[in-house]
């Protein structure tokens, strides 16, 4: 979520100065909306437990009754290259598990489908996050972009996802879903101010002719930082009437998508075989305090405050997940960027930075120094390391 924060806040003074045509939609319709032709493919975060269990039974993990492995990949913009390095290094050590559940938020949503399908796609991820092709996403939306829906043009991100999520990828995800594994992605419904969990495998396996488009739209929405990339319109239905919902970056509601109650119900249910549940969290960001002399001006102050809020949000979510793991007996494993690597807001998808955090993730994984079993957040300031 470090992407273009300064540019984003530079537009705040224009908020409310422009007007776009409103969509005809009321709160009751929004609350009861569904995606026609797909069944129960999504759920709101924090939905009542009984409601979710009753209406989303096909979300349950149905893999073998042995140990369960859950991978959660956070947002982080260019820092997503760290998570790619972790996955590649994990494969190199021949210790990477086959995940029963993979979840992704924002940049993590771009990585999650490949992480779900396994080590065979490591080279694809490495190319996407270290070769410099990510620079193609930075296309300024003209001098008046701040007056429209976004600072950057949406086409590069859409084309990136279209190239990445092919019919072959969709079919492979559908097959794994039928085998009982689950791939989940988080978006934020801007109309309802709720996080929406999408069962991506169920979309892929739906047989709906528009499944590929919806799958891609959800990925693009989850990765669309508000104001930087435009929100994504997703067609929904309520009481027989169709309308469009506005979905954006999942990181607006949570940096980490923890498995919903329904999945947990399956994972921690009693079985004839004693299960171990292994939680792996890749935070594509620094949880340490990062020193920076902040200019005493409006935009830098706002950008710095927002970045600090996101860091604090991730720390709180990790603490809650750790406490949950202790209560349930699950194994907690955390990976994050624990050194300060120079980063420029003026070049948010800098190839050198992405390669540096990739190497960090890869080397820490292969050396065995990556995973932490407690969410400890150091207070001591560190000096930036060279790339």
Helix axes 107-117, 155-164, angle to 10 degrees: 10
Query: For residue 214, what pLDDT is reported?
Result: 98
Query: For residue 267, what pLDDT is reported?
Result: 58
User: How far apart are alpha carbons 117 and 99 in whole angstroms?
Assistant: 9
Identify the H or E element spanning 276.
none
Cβ atoms of 210 and 35 within 8 Å: the answer is no
Query: For residue 80, what pLDDT is reported?
Result: 95
With a CB cutoff of 8 Å and minimum separation 6, the contacts of 58 are 39, 40, 202
The closest of 178, 187, 179, 256 to 222, measured between CA atoms, is 187
User: How far apart are alpha carbons 4 and 112 in whole angstroms?
Assistant: 23
Query: For residue 66, what pLDDT is reported?
Result: 75
How do beta strands 101-105 and 68-73 pair? parallel
User: How far apart are alpha carbons 77 and 106 in whole angstroms?
Assistant: 8
Summarised one tens digit per residue, pLDDT across range 175-185 is 999 999 999 99
Query: For residue 169, what pLDDT is reported?
Result: 98
Cβ atoms of 238 and 34 within 8 Å: the answer is yes
Q: Is 31 a catalytic site residue?
A: no
Say which residue, 187 or 378, is predicted with more confidence. 187
Range in 140-149, 212-221, 332-341 with the lowest mean pLDDT? 140-149
Summarised one tens digit per residue, pLDDT across range 229-245 is 789 999 999 988 999 99
Identify the H or E element spanning 70.
strand 68-73
Query: For residue 270, what pLDDT is reported?
Result: 55
Say which residue, 15 or 71, is predicted with more confidence. 71
Per the prediction, the chain carries an average pLDDT of: 84
Beta strand spans in 190-290 (E): 194-199, 232-238, 241-249, 277-286
**Three-state DSSP state, 229:** strand
Say which residue, 56 or 85, is predicted with more confidence. 85
Whether the full predicted model's pTM is greater than 0.75, yes or no, is: yes
Query: For residue 206, what pLDDT is reported?
Result: 96
Q: Which of 106, 222, 248, 336 is catalytic?
A: 106
CATH number of 21-367: 3.40.1090.10
User: How far apart are alpha carbons 171 and 177 in whole angstroms?
Assistant: 10
The backbone torsions φ and ψ at residue 64, rounded to the nearest 5 degrees and listed phi first, read -55, 155
Each domain of the chain, given as residue ranges in start order, spans 21-367
* Measured CA angle at 262 (ends 373, 279), to 5 deg: 15
C-alpha pair distances (Å), 105 with each of 93, 195, 356: 26, 11, 22
Highest mean pLDDT among 109-113, 228-232, 261-265, 270-274: 109-113
Range in 15-24, 303-312, 313-322, 340-349 with the lowest mean pLDDT? 15-24
Q: Which of 100, 122, 217, 249 is catalytic?
A: 249
Query: For residue 225, what pLDDT is reported?
Result: 81
Per the structure block, which two tokens stand in for 10? 């530079």
Say which residue, 159 or 3, is predicted with more confidence. 159
Overall average pLDDT of the 303-325 stretch:
88
Is the torsion defined by CA of 53, 57, 60, 64 positive or negative?
Answer: positive
Range in 17-21, 84-88, 135-139 with the lowest mean pLDDT? 17-21
Q: Over 70: is that where the pLDDT of 272 sits? A: no
What band does 85 get if pLDDT is binned at 50, 70 and 90? very high
**Quick one: DSSP state of residue 201?**
H
**Quick one: DSSP state of residue 335?**
E
Query: For residue 306, what pLDDT is reported?
Result: 79
Q: Is 106 a catalytic site residue?
A: yes
Per the structure block, which two tokens stand in for 120? 């065979």
102-124: buried (b, 16+ CB within 10 Å) or exposed (e) per residue? Answer: bbbbbbbbbbbbbbbbebebbee
Cβ atoms of 222 and 187 within 8 Å: the answer is yes
Say which residue, 24 or 384, is predicted with more confidence. 24
What band does 268 get if pLDDT is binned at 50, 70 and 90? low
Query: For residue 276, what pLDDT is reported?
Result: 84
Alpha helices for 118-194 (secondary structure H): 122-130, 155-164, 167-178
Cβ atoms of 369 and 316 within 8 Å: the answer is no
């Amino acid at each position: 979520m470090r992407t273009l924060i300064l540019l984003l806040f530079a537009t705040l003074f224009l908020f409310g100065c422009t007007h776009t045509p409103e969509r005809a939609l009321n709160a009751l319709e929004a609350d009861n909306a569904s995606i026609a032709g797909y069944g129960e493919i999504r759920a709101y975060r924090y939905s009542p437990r009984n409601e979710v269990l009753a209406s989303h039974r096909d979300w349950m993990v149905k893999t073998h009754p042995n140990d369960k492995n859950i991978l959660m990949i956070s947002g982080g913009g260019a820092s997503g290259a760290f998570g790619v390095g972790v996955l590649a290094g994990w494969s190199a050590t021949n210790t990477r598990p086959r995940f029963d559940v993979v979840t992704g938020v924002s940049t993590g949503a771009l990585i999650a489908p490949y992480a779900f399908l396994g080590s065979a796609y490591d080279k694809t991820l490495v190319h996407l996050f270290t070769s410099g092709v990510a620079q193609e996403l930075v296309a300024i939306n003209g001098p008046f972009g701040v007056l429209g829906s976004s600072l950057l043009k949406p086409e590069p991100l859409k084309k990136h996802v279209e190239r990445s999520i092919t019919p072959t990828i969709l079919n492979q995800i559908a097959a794994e879903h039928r085998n009982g594994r689950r791939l989940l992605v988080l978006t934020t419904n801007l109309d309802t101010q709720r996080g929406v969990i999408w069962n991506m495998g169920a979309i892929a396996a739906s047989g709906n002719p528009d499944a590929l488009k919806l799958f891609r739209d959800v990925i693009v929405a989850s990765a669309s930082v508000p104001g930087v990339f435009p929100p994504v319109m997703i067609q929904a239905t309520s009481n027989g009437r169709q309308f469009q919902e506005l979905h954006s970056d999942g990181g607006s509601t949570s940096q980490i998508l923890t498995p919903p109650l329904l999945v947990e119900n399956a994972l921690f249910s009693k079985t004839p075989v004693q299960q171990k549940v292994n939680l792996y969290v890749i935070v594509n960001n620094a949880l340490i305090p990062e020193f920076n002399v902040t200019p005493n001006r409006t935009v830098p102050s706002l950008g710095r405050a927002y970045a600090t809020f996101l860091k604090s949000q991730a720390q709180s979510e990790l603490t809650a997940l750790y406490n949950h793991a202790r209560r349930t007996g699950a194994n907690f494993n955390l990976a994050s960027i624990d050194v300060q690597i120079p980063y420029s807001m003026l070049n948010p998808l800098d190839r050198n930075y992405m390669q540096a955090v990739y190497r960090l993730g890869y080397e820490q994984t292969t050396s065995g120094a990556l995973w932490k079993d407690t969410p400890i957040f150091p207070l001591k300031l560190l000096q930036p390391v060279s790339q």
